Structure 1
């Protein structure tokens, strides 16, 4: 049952982080598919956590913490890094897939 919950939570986190990343990405990025938004969110959550951990490490009052547990309370700054990385990935995904803004399409 643990693997199923890991997959479900990973997809939910990817969904939320991906849409937050899409919301803060510059320009209109609503034209990438849902599955790609979730992939950007999952990758953004992982890479953002990893980068935050590399830069700041674990808080001194949280011995034994790891990449996903850098402080004793909610890691708001780590989550901000996750959303930022997801926003960059959304921009990259929109660029790589060649999808343009709907307003820029010919009628």
Structure 2
């Protein structure tokens, strides 16, 4: 049980980080949100791969991982839009 949770955190961090790296531009979201997005993408990607019949293959499951990373890119994009954080180096408008 503890091993499964730790593995989900590690895999989520890696998949979330890959999603952020592949998404062009700057995403001002927290590390914890990135890990959460990665965990969600890994779980949903695994379900989709199993539904397509490619969840378990001999060797490395490249297609499953590609689905998971593609979902991570999409989820990071959504998270960056929903949280609405502005980059810290963005100029602020003067209010009158």
Fold match (TM-score > 0.5): yes
Class of the TM-score when normalised by the shorter of the 2 chains? 0.7 to 0.9
Q: Match of 2:90?
A: 104
Q: Which runs of 5+ in 2 are unaligned?
A: none
Q: Match of 2:74?
A: 88
- TM-score relative to the length of structure 2: 0.86
Say whether the 8 Å CA contact 1:94–1:100 is kept in structure 2: no
1:68-83 to structure 2, matched below 5 A, reads: 70-83=56-69
Measured on the aligned residues, the alpha-carbon RMSD in Å equals 1.7
Distance 1:102 1:89 in 2: 22
Alignment deviations for residues 52-105 of structure 1 (CA, whole Å, 9 cap, x no partner): 222x314xxxxxxxx4xx201100111011011011100101111001334434
Distance 2:70 2:76 in 1: 10
Q: Which runs of 5+ in 1 are unaligned?
A: 59-66
Offset at 1:49? 1.6
Distance 1:51 1:38 in 2: 20
- Name the CA shift for 1:93/1:24 in 2 (closer, same or farther; >3 Å): same
